[in-house]
Amino acid sequence: MKDKIRAVASFNALGHEGKAELNSVISKTISLFPEERKNLKTLMPLIKEIVDEVNSLSAEEMKAIIERDFPELLATTSKEEEKRLPDLPDVGKEGVVMRMAPSASGPLHIGHARMAILNDEYFRRYGGKLVLRIEDTNPANNEPEAYQMIQDDLHWLDVNYTDLVIQSKRFELYYSEMKSLVEMGKAYVATSPTEEFKSRKQQGMPIKERDETPEENLERWDKMVSGEYAKGEAYAVVKTDLTHPNPAIRDFIAFRIVDTPHPLEGDRYRAYPMMNFSVAVDDHYNGLTHVIRGKDHTANTEKQKYIFGYRNWKLPFYLHYGKVSIEHTILKTSLIKKGIRSGEFTGWDDPKLGTLVALKKRGFSPLAIRKYYVESGIGSVDTTFSWEIFYSFNRKIIDNTSPRHFFVNQPVSLKFEFEGKLNASIPLYPQTGNSATHEKREYSVGKGSISITSQDYQKFKGELVRLKDLGYFKIGDENIEYIGQEILEDVQKWNPGRPLGKVPIIHWLSGNDVPFKVIKPDGTSEEGLLEKDALRFTGKVNQFERYGYVNVLNEKEGYFTHP
Ligand code: GLU
């Protein structure tokens, strides 16, 4: 049991920058071993102890523990590979028409990726059309760069939409649709204070304009469109049912007056549609057959259905998936914009952010994002985004193509007195069986100095270690001594405290390095020495042995991908 928990903690740590989280390890353990729930009291201190122990290990050691003690743990996630999204009902011969409707407030983040991937998966399955509709009818939140960034993000995700619709180009359509509703007596234009509208609605009561004639309302509508009212002076409302048990679904505001200039249209329009109005009109005119969106839109769907009903439009099939909470990253556009302005973030692709541009720059494969969301499905149950599962998908995808290199963080330089030369021949891609990738890094090491990490130095000072692919060495206070290629004597003679046969294997550098900085998603960074050969792979993810995956951005720094 202890070994299994250690593996669970290791798996969790690999998903959280090398630090397992006690609560997640406890809940994962219980979900894997439900019969242990009754022993929780005695298990808790044990799990705490194991988590502390695991948190001092390197990623390599964690992976080794999982493979040795609980390989099925990985199988429980890979079994899910067969997961497939359920079929959609009512798909005709022409396929589907689906859409992604992000607002123009900024680039897409890992949360938006879900709606893009799910819609795209169905479009791929059935054919038809996939519309990208940029919703930009709230100028106060619009970000001029967003129009292009959203499209770039989707291209990166390999989401190939067939049509691009920009809502601010469709004001005339929204106006004529609203006018029809007013003429039909299904909408009204009010100048009563909005407070009064809200409080009467709460009590299931109308404001006076609701009962006025279409002619009177039309007159105010024309004035609203031609800009005769100041901000807040008038608003247009779609009638629903004032006695609806859910007050959120009773009469809703469909237009308001906006003074903020629009990034594309300037001050050409003053009457702006609210989301529920423009979404309903567009879903109809874009020919949507299936609308897949988050559960937070459930009440909106009910409101939008009134418009479909009044106009006798065919309803699309609606599906609302549960909310995914994404912790340990920053997603909120307003916070990001503020942080970029204050210099707290370097840009939309700062590694602390959950934007797609940041994940791209950290070296994630868009395939890992797709796989994650396909496997999470479209159920209505709320879930929490699992970074560890996401990291494990990405690791599987990039591992074979990531060359391995040594990065010695916080280096300690040890004097190496040696006559002659030692040769090291280190595979660049030891993880693949592919002979085309049998390339090696060749080094010749002689008198001079050898650097190892200060962590290894502290841990193994006075002991025998194996410098990876170079030989056995003894670490002294200020120097390092070559012992040989094979150790014939009992290892315990060298390292009395360590279990038999286990000589730690550590990475090293000697004259073949450059200073390098790794910037981490938690905002910290680590400085050290990087094997110069890694610079041949600038713009690519490298695997820094015993450290983690790093996207080498330039000759001085890289972004940490994940352990
Ligand atoms: N633009 C809306 C939003 O980002 C989406 C509307 C919808 O999916 O219906 O919340």
337 alpha carbon – ligand 1 mean position (Å): 20
Q: Using the 8-state DSSP alphabet, how is residue 548 labeled?
A: E
In a domain, 287, yes or no: no
Predicted local distance difference test score (pLDDT) of residue 500:
58
pTM given for the model: 0.86
Is residue 110 within 8 A of residue 74, CB to CB? The reply is no
Q: Which atom from ligand 1 is nearest to the alpha carbon of 112?
A: 4
Place of tokens 């249209």: 265
In a domain, 313, yes or no: no
103 alpha carbon – ligand 1 mean position (Å): 7
Q: Check whether residue 39 and residue 112 sit in a common domain.
A: no
Q: Check whether residue 442 and residue 522 sit in a common domain.
A: yes
- Ligand 1 close to Cβ of residue 293 (< 6 A): yes
Q: Which atom from ligand 1 is nearest to the alpha carbon of 283?
A: 9
**Which CATH number is 135's domain given?**
3.40.50.620
Q: Is 336 helix (H, G, I), strand (E, B) or coil?
A: helix
Output the residue whose Cα is nearest ligand 1's atom 4. Answer: 102
15 alpha carbon – ligand 1 mean position (Å): 30
Distance, in Å, from the CA atom of 314 to the CA atom of 322, rounded to the nearest integer, reads 25
Q: Which residues of the chain have pLDDT under 50?
A: 78-81
Q: Check whether residue 436 and residue 341 sit in a common domain.
A: no
Q: Check whether residue 551 and residue 416 sit in a common domain.
A: yes
In a domain, 58, yes or no: yes
CA 257 to each of CA 199, 233, 254, 351, 500: distance values in angstroms, whole numbers, following the listed order? 21, 8, 11, 38, 78
**Which CATH number is 454's domain given?**
2.40.240.10
Q: Check whether residue 430 and residue 548 sit in a common domain.
A: yes
Distance, in Å, from the CA atom of 178 to the CA atom of 188, rounded to the nearest integer, reads 9
State the SS3 of 242-276.
CCCCCHHHCCEEEEEECCCCECCCECCCCEEECHH
Domain-ending residue, one of 351, 382, 399: 399
- Ligand 1 close to Cβ of residue 106 (< 6 A): no
Domain residues for the domain of 196 are 170-273
Longest dimension (CA), the chain: 103
The strand pair at 383-384 and 324-325 is best described as parallel
- Ligand 1 close to Cβ of residue 273 (< 6 A): no
Q: Check whether residue 381 and residue 431 sit in a common domain.
A: no
Q: In what order do the strands lie in the sheet with 271-273?
A: 187-190, 235-238, 252-257, 271-273
207 alpha carbon – ligand 1 mean position (Å): 29
289 alpha carbon – ligand 1 mean position (Å): 16
Distance, in Å, from the CA atom of 291 to the CA atom of 283, rounded to the nearest integer, reads 8
Q: Is 512 helix (H, G, I), strand (E, B) or coil?
A: coil
- Ligand 1 close to Cβ of residue 137 (< 6 A): no
Is residue 542 within 8 A of residue 555, CB to CB? The reply is no
In a domain, 46, yes or no: yes
**Which CATH number is 198's domain given?**
3.90.800.10
Distance, in Å, from the CA atom of 199 to the CA atom of 143, rounded to the nearest integer, reads 34
282 alpha carbon – ligand 1 mean position (Å): 12
> Long-range CB contacts (< 8 A, 24+ apart) of 147-152?
147/104, 147/264, 149/106, 149/107, 149/108, 149/348, 149/357, 150/102, 150/104, 150/107, 150/108, 152/107, 152/357
CA 314 to each of CA 175, 183, 304, 317, 494: distance values in angstroms, whole numbers, following the listed order? 21, 21, 12, 10, 80
In a domain, 89, yes or no: no
In a domain, 202, yes or no: yes
In a domain, 10, yes or no: yes
Is residue 255 within 8 A of residue 270, CB to CB? The reply is no
- Ligand 1 close to Cβ of residue 279 (< 6 A): yes
Distance, in Å, from the CA atom of 121 to the CA atom of 158, rounded to the nearest integer, reads 11
Predicted local distance difference test score (pLDDT) of residue 80:
45
Q: How far does the chain reach from its first CA to its final CA, in angstroms?
A: 25
Residue 218 tokens read as: 């039309």
- Ligand 1 close to Cβ of residue 170 (< 6 A): no
Stated as kind and residue range, the H or E segment containing 561 is: strand 557-562
Mutate to test the pocket of ligand 1, among 103, 112, 136, 296 (most ligand atoms within 8 A of CB): 103
354 alpha carbon – ligand 1 mean position (Å): 19
Q: Check whether residue 269 and residue 347 sit in a common domain.
A: no
Q: Which atom from ligand 1 is nearest to the alpha carbon of 133?
A: 1
CA 45 to each of CA 53, 425, 459: distance values in angstroms, whole numbers, following the listed order? 12, 45, 26
Pick from 102, 17, 109: nearest CA to 336: 109
Q: Show Cβ contacts of residue 481 under 8 Å, excluding neighbours closer than 6 positions.
A: 417, 473, 474
In a domain, 292, yes or no: no
- Ligand 1 close to Cβ of residue 112 (< 6 A): no
Q: Check whether residue 186 and residue 328 sit in a common domain.
A: no
- Ligand 1 close to Cβ of residue 135 (< 6 A): yes
Q: CA angle 343-348-353, nearest 5°? A: 90
- Ligand 1 close to Cβ of residue 297 (< 6 A): yes
- Ligand 1 close to Cβ of residue 103 (< 6 A): yes
Pick from 186, 172, 182: nearest CA to 271: 172
Count other C-beta atoms under 10 Å from residue 73's C-beta. 18
Output the residue whose Cα is nearest ligand 1's atom 7. Answer: 101
The strand pair at 464-467 and 471-475 is best described as antiparallel
CA-based Rg of the chain, rounded to a whole angstrom? 30
Predicted local distance difference test score (pLDDT) of residue 525:
97
Q: Check whether residue 496 and residue 409 sit in a common domain.
A: yes
Phi, psi (rounded to 5 degrees) for 434:
-80, 120
Mutate to test the pocket of ligand 1, among 143, 275, 304, 321 (most ligand atoms within 8 A of CB): 275
Q: Check whether residue 205 and residue 262 sit in a common domain.
A: yes
Q: Check whether residue 411 and residue 375 sit in a common domain.
A: no
Q: Check whether residue 419 and residue 389 sit in a common domain.
A: no
> Long-range CB contacts (< 8 A, 24+ apart) of 41-49?
46/2, 46/5, 47/5, 47/9, 47/22, 48/22
102 alpha carbon – ligand 1 mean position (Å): 6
Count other C-beta atoms under 10 Å from residue 427's C-beta. 15
- In the chain, the number of structural domains is 4
- Ligand 1 close to Cβ of residue 102 (< 6 A): yes
264 alpha carbon – ligand 1 mean position (Å): 20
294 alpha carbon – ligand 1 mean position (Å): 9
CA 7 to each of CA 20, 58, 71, 392, 403: distance values in angstroms, whole numbers, following the listed order? 11, 13, 9, 14, 26
Domain-ending residue, one of 273, 294, 313: 273
Is residue 124 within 8 A of residue 157, CB to CB? The reply is no
Q: Which atom from ligand 1 is nearest to the alpha carbon of 100?
A: 8
Distance of CA 219 to the CA centre of its chain: 49
**50 phi-psi bin (left φ>0, alpha ψ -120 to 50, beta other):** alpha
392 alpha carbon – ligand 1 mean position (Å): 30
Distance of CA 181 to the CA centre of its chain: 41
Distance, in Å, from the CA atom of 397 to the CA atom of 291, rounded to the nearest integer, reads 31
Pick from 406, 414, 425, 411: nearest CA to 530: 406
Q: Is 129 helix (H, G, I), strand (E, B) or coil?
A: strand
Domain-ending residue, one of 78, 105, 139: 78
Mutate to test the pocket of ligand 1, among 143, 293, 319 (most ligand atoms within 8 A of CB): 293
